[in-house]
Amino acid sequence: MRVAIEGSCWLNARGYGRFARGLVRALAETPHDHDIILVVDRQTAERGDLPSGLAVAVADTDQSPAEAASAKGSRSLRDLYAMSRALSSAHAEMVFFPSVYTWTPVFSREKVLLGVHDVIAEDYPDLVFPDKKSRFLWRLKSALAQAQADAFLTVSRYAREGIVRQFGHPIHRIHVVEEAPDPVFRPLAKDQVDSNLLRRMGIGAETRFFVYLGGINPHKNLGALVECMMELRAMPAFADVQLVIVGELEREIFTPGVAMLREKIKKLAADDAVILAGYLSDEEVCQIINLSMALVLPSFSEGFGLPAVEAAACGRPVIATRNSPLPDLLEGGGIFIDPTDPGNLLAALLRIASDEERREEMGKMNLKLAKGLTWRRSAAQFLEILETIESTFR
């Protein structure tokens, strides 16, 4: 089967950009009988580290769709036409959109496989979109994309259940390709950690800290996490514990929550407790995770929860939302909390902070579990889906 993969989310640092990069790179390295072409915008072709081994077609766009398709942005008609024309010109039998965010209409006869990572935007619209106009435009785009789709791809069984609940699609049309940690995430010895990185961030060599990794958005529930951290620090035995928040602070394009977070930190006088690290490279993130007591992901919902799996690959325990596939993926390696119950989150922080032996046991379990999640495995799942779709529509 000839497959065109719409790759204009390639430059996005968030979850669906990582998904596209990890999956496509693994497909380029995996033997198969399909003819795959990656279709990207001009900005991605110029700045993206695209894999060798795959054919690439470039649409002549004026703006990167990964930036234009934000909560407050919109793509020009010219750019939509350019991407649509490039996809049609690929003469593929199927077009795969890794994400609804960068979907564009396809006016040729190819089958469409649409990636829908989660239904967070539908379950928590007030937390995801800055205004009613943005919410309406998202619903319109999502409805048009789904109307054109012949099949759907998502990242977990948990997310698939949400798609069925929200949109009513038959479950047999929704396929699962799980995400995976990149190889950069691994256990490190203390001498492999850059002391200058810690010094620059204001982290002492013996500092005990939790780490959060991800978008600084309202649905990530970071306000509650800061409140719980301050309650933990009110206990004499944990007065020195800090929280390191890693995530884009300046260029976040999806419903920025940075101002709200800074206001919360100021209101609680939590400047000494919370370090806003901003964006860090994967190598730097790996170092910070390795030194942490645990990664905390208290989101109201996660379609997959890749930061927790990346922490698992570093051999660290996690505290994560139970509204996700993580309780199944990392069973025995984490504490899974009700994100609407601050007491539940505080108890988890206290349990991890007070029991070093348990932290190490959970970290070892996570390292074992994470080894089963690889992008090569994801590529194999994707290729199996292609076979299924090919036989279904033959």
pLDDT digits (tens, 9 = 90+) for 156-165: 999 999 999 9
Burial of residue 267 (CB within 10 Å: 0-12, 13-18, 19+) is exposed
Burial of residue 132 (CB within 10 Å: 0-12, 13-18, 19+) is exposed
**pLDDT tens across 165-200, in order?**
999 999 999 999 999 999 999 999 988 988 889 889
Instruction: Reduce the secondary structure of the chain to three states and give it as a string.
Output: CEEEEECCCCCCCCHHHHHHHHHHHHHHHCCCCCEEEEEEEHHHHHHCCCCCCCEEEEECCCCCHHHHCCCCCCCCHHHHHHHHHHHHHCCCCEEEECCHHHCCCCCCCCEEEEECCCCHHHHCHHHHCCCHHHHHHHHHHHHHHHHHCCEEEECCHHHHHHHHHHHCCCHHHEEECCCCCCCCCCCCCHHHCCHHHHHHHCCCCCCCEEEEECCCCHHHCHHHHHHHHHHHHCCHHHCCCEEEEECCCCCCCCCCCHHHHHHHHHHCCCCCCEEEEECCCHHHHHHHHHHCCEEEECCCCCCCCHHHHHHHHCCCCEEEECCCCHHHHCCCCEEEECCCCHHHHHHHHHHHHHCHHHHHHHHHHHHHHHCCCCHHHHHHHHHHHHHHHHHHCC
Q: Which one of 12-26, 201-215, 219-233, 253-267 scores highest in mean pLDDT?
A: 219-233
More confident residue, 245 or 74: 245
* pLDDT for the residue 49: 86
pLDDT band at 67 (very low <50, low <70, confident <90, very high): low
**pLDDT tens across 87-133, in order?**
999 999 999 999 998 899 998 888 999 999 999 999 999 998 888 88
Q: Which one of 38-42, 188-192, 227-231, 250-254 scores highest in mean pLDDT?
A: 227-231
Overall average pLDDT of the 379-383 stretch: 98
Distances (CA, A) of 284 to 188, 214, 329: 12, 14, 25
Q: What is the residue-averaged pLDDT of the chain?
A: 93
pLDDT band at 68 (very low <50, low <70, confident <90, very high): low
**pLDDT tens across 278-289, in order?**
999 999 999 999
Overall average pLDDT of the 359-364 stretch: 97
Sorted by where each starts, the structural domains of the chain and their CATH numbers stand as 2-180+374-392 (3.40.50.2000), 190-370 (3.40.50.2000)
Closest C-alpha among 133, 93, 99, 90 to residue 111? 93
pTM: 0.93
* pLDDT for the residue 117: 96
* pLDDT for the residue 70: 55
